[in-house]
Structure 1
């Protein structure tokens, strides 16, 4: 199963409570306070990993919770810090806060990491409050709750070249011809139901990744067909390869088909429509394809390449054109909503940053305890 979108709930570990304890030892009548601090809660960390290609594993588990910090104990024993929870996602995943809508991080490269839920700080034990005037403190702190939020994960595959066109334009066949990818190929529309990636190696110094997305139809930007769900996967590409069928089976006009797809791109994202594009006429092994190619080039008024993925005709010329196009490309800019201002994070000396999910008034105020018998 391929999944490129998922919503998860993450909860960082709560901080452990500080302990109120006094030293009890023979011949030491006034041993003083020895309550240890609580441990900090574990954080929820999301990391990009090349071991994953989509978000299917995130769809199977919706709730993720890090380990809480242990409570402090007597004899100045500090609570153990909770272990961080690391969630791996494929490179190219965008993380958004579901409720606020701002972008938390765009994990483009393997190893990119972000803390999406900070663990709660552990509370101080009564040892922390001892002084020359307060030799038997009865104050201790509760641990702060860990941060929690709902996160929307959206995958935009990392590819250099994006194949676009109508269903049955030959995108999957071309991908299987120029790479080792094995996409599903059949003689009916919408064979491709999810993006396929293929790595093309021309020589040791020239290699690129090609993304084949489901075919587009008229009205795709409004939700018709399958392609609108995956147009975002070509937003990161630096070069678009627009495949136009020379002799459409439905006898439609190839020029009209090309302009219709261009219109859909412009309505989906003007920035995407401005990307460099190669127009390629496919299925040149059919009778009359040469005349159709000449007419398409004349009406569009631009250079048009011609290939046959079955016979291999024109593919070396296409690969060279892609190589040259990638050399001259500029880094594409993703079209994303601007991040909202994040809540301030208070950093205490010697402690981890902590942001409480549900702030409580005077949460850090010392807690008065009842007297200990025998003190």
Structure 2
């Protein structure tokens, strides 16, 4: 029985910042942003959007009534959770109107947790073939104004329906994974900002990739020539390229050119959205599938997932016949075209508008947020969500 991704869609907030203008405002050479880290735009979440609403808006783009009935497991990967106790997946389950006889769980391991959700979903479907699983990666990356990490911020969510006989990508059983207790990126409970050792984190990202790639080759006997494309977790789009370059000497000249070209295709959406932590790898996969018209059913895609702290995994999938029919290219084009660029002054004002630290009752102006699902305010320490189309 084949198990894999049957549907995939994403959502990003309607605001974005131009990275050239941000660089100029910060007195930085724009090439450091557009070439050095490979980012053109940065999605910006207003106070009315959090991980839950981003996830709901992404999922609403792909699920239908059959999915609502058959989804009996919701796995929500995020490092932007809104509660130390209540799972973001429970809020999401309600907002989407899913089958009440379902499990709903939030997962955490930095940027890796959506991949953990994918692997758990495979096991669930193997035991319950008629079920479907909703896997979400949703996050808001915030490092602060005029900080070293400001250029690697972003916001968005990717939603995936995992099922038997997937129409998009059948996930193969072979995968290799590696865990090591390191402090490359972390955010203590008492801190509103993350702590990062940037150089060390970049080194470990590549080290973990090389480790799981070597293990994968050893276990399967496969080589780069068995892959049409490799997709990477991309906190910024140059990061995955750095990892890819470490193994390109294993490929033929034509194979190397193919992998590099497909990598460039796979980061087009990420260049416009920025870092979305748990969803970044899957946004890259989506970009590859929607922006590349040369891939065909039967071709193998490799995926590298990395979550600081740290866990890394390399796994693979086979594109299904007519997979293009399961994509939402025009919806995503419309999403990008409908976004509004904000000035640096507007960006800083939107960025500084945050929820009260003590949970004071608040009502937000919903007129400025066109999303179907939004956060309307806080009442009695409870977040109040609204689904305009439910």
**Is the strand fraction higher in 1 or 2?**
2
TM-score under structure 1 length normalisation: 0.24
- Structure with higher RCO (Cα < 8 A, 6+ apart): 2
Larger radius of gyration: 1
**Under a length normalisation based on structure 2, what TM-score does the superposition of the two structures give?**
0.23
